[in-house]
A = this chain, B = another copy of it.
């Protein structure tokens, strides 16, 4: 298939682009490198020393003989995004090209507005470009399980059959997103559902859980292909952050009680889910929703697991409960369905001690790049404006 991977220089996007290329698809990455810019803004960097994208792509070609094309630009610029769709004529557009951090969107007004405008306008542009230039292409859009919030009922995959006053309908599942970022994804979902209805576009909204891990078969082929490993309080996903803390002997920072339960998945399942969605496209006019995760854990359960695996590795790992900077239930009912991707053939990599061991080992390997000052939450949901202190990043030193 001809597949455009938007945001292909990011954490999930890069692993996905390589995986799809390996499977023989003709992949083009579209990216404007703003993810790297956010690191400069925040004074943080990925634990793993990632290469500039052109180097990454050259290494991929040398190793595999396969090429991944690149178009550099911002999908919020319609001239750019329309030209890309017109030239590439993709069978599928995999859309990771959004600001994806909840804390980033909660820093202050500017970051909230930026996140919503960037994400909503980028997606609107794609919908209009597809309508105009490639109406039968399949849009595979990354949403988030965070769109649902934590309702006191089972979470279904996108839609819910409701009986009310003796009548029935199947309606979009009610959304209670918990940050301006999560809200932007809810806005996108509504816009996409509408575009499919009026224009007959086909789209899959992947409500992804929290991703962990950094290695895939492709990424580990060579150091030049190494993937991001974000551990800071703004972009670091929780399990990766815990592993980085364990690696340098810092206590794992659990927000509040840690009863916050979410869906999680290994990045190796992310890439496979994307391919499964592409291989089994939505029908014309169909807007379908898959919940893309494999297991549920509470944050405290994850911390305890990291502590226990760390102990087996000889690391002394403590768990610290810090005041929750977010406004969220610290313990709640949570039961989210996730059978549609399994029905298409997903065989999940469940969280195992060996995966955690390997993840902590990566963190140990790059421990000298860890800036311990960027773990502590500095973005408080209750404030309208958070002054982030940007730390001086210690220069990378050779590992002893």
B160 and A154 contacting across the interface, CB-CB below 8 Å: no
| A385 neighbours in B (Cβ, 8 Å) | 132
Q: Which of B154, B173, B198, B384 contacts A381 (CB 8 A)?
A: B198
Residues A127-154 near B (CB distance < 8 A): 128, 131-132, 151-154
B175 and A173 contacting across the interface, CB-CB below 8 Å: no
Q: Does A113 contact B (CB under 8 A)?
A: yes
| A121 neighbours in B (Cβ, 8 Å) | 113, 116-117
> Given that A172-B175, A174-B160 are known contacts, is A78 also in contact with B109, CB under 8 Å in the complex?
yes
| A131 neighbours in B (Cβ, 8 Å) | 384
Q: Does A169 contact B (CB under 8 A)?
A: yes
A172 and B171 contacting across the interface, CB-CB below 8 Å: no
A178 and B154 contacting across the interface, CB-CB below 8 Å: no
Q: How far is the CA of A178 from the CA of B167 in the complex (A)?
A: 22
Q: How far is the CA of A366 from the CA of B208 in the complex (A)?
A: 57
Q: Does A85 contact B (CB under 8 A)?
A: no
Q: Does A389 contact B (CB under 8 A)?
A: no
Q: Report the interface size class on chain A.
A: 35 or more
Q: Does A120 contact B (CB under 8 A)?
A: yes
Q: Does A124 contact B (CB under 8 A)?
A: yes
Q: Does A125 contact B (CB under 8 A)?
A: yes
Q: Which of B125, B179, B193 contacts A109 (CB 8 A)?
A: B125
B194 and A183 contacting across the interface, CB-CB below 8 Å: yes
| A112 neighbours in B (Cβ, 8 Å) | 124, 128
Q: Does A180 contact B (CB under 8 A)?
A: yes
Q: Which of B120, B178, B199 contacts A187 (CB 8 A)?
A: B120
Q: Which of B154, B167, B176, B197 contacts A152 (CB 8 A)?
A: B167
> Given that A117-B117, A197-B327, A382-B198 are known contacts, is A162 also in contact with B167, CB under 8 Å in the complex?
no
Q: How far is the CA of A346 from the CA of B128 in the complex (A)?
A: 43
User: How distant is A324 from chain B, measured CB to nearest CB, in Å?
Assistant: 12
| A178 neighbours in B (Cβ, 8 Å) | 194
B132 and A384 contacting across the interface, CB-CB below 8 Å: yes
User: How distant is A51 from chain B, measured CB to nearest CB, in Å?
Assistant: 35
Q: Residue of B at shortest CB range from A110?
A: B78
Q: Residue of B at shortest CB range from A148?
A: B171
A162 and B168 contacting across the interface, CB-CB below 8 Å: no
Q: How far is the CA of A120 from the CA of B109 in the complex (A)?
A: 12
A191 and B199 contacting across the interface, CB-CB below 8 Å: no
A169 and B154 contacting across the interface, CB-CB below 8 Å: no
Q: Kindly name the residue among A120, A121, A174 whose own CB sees the greatest number of chain B CB atoms within 10 A.
A: A174
| A199 neighbours in B (Cβ, 8 Å) | 382, 384
Q: Residue of B at shortest CB range from A384?
A: B131
User: How distant is A168 from chain B, measured CB to nearest CB, in Å?
Assistant: 7
> Given that A109-B124, A112-B128, A164-B160 are known contacts, is A174 also in contact with B177, CB under 8 Å in the complex?
no
User: How distant is A384 from chain B, measured CB to nearest CB, in Å?
Assistant: 4
Q: How far is the CA of A381 from the CA of B117 in the complex (A)?
A: 23
- Annotate A276-289 by CB proximity to B: 1 below 8 A, 0 otherwise: 00000000000000
Q: Residue of B at shortest CB range from A150?
A: B169
Q: Does A352 contact B (CB under 8 A)?
A: no
Q: How far is the CA of A327 from the CA of B198 in the complex (A)?
A: 6
Q: Which of B78, B132, B167, B197 contacts A153 (CB 8 A)?
A: B167
Q: Residue of B at shortest CB range from A82?
A: B109
New A-B contacts (15) at CB < 8 Å, excluding given A176-B193, A187-B190, A197-B327: A112-B128, A120-B187, A128-B384, A132-B385, A152-B167, A152-B169, A153-B168, A154-B165, A160-B164, A163-B163, A172-B174, A177-B194, A187-B187, A198-B381, A198-B382
10 tightest Cβ-Cβ pairs between the two chains A and B: A171-B174, A152-B169, A131-B384, A109-B128, A153-B164, A198-B327, A187-B187, A153-B167, A172-B174, A153-B169
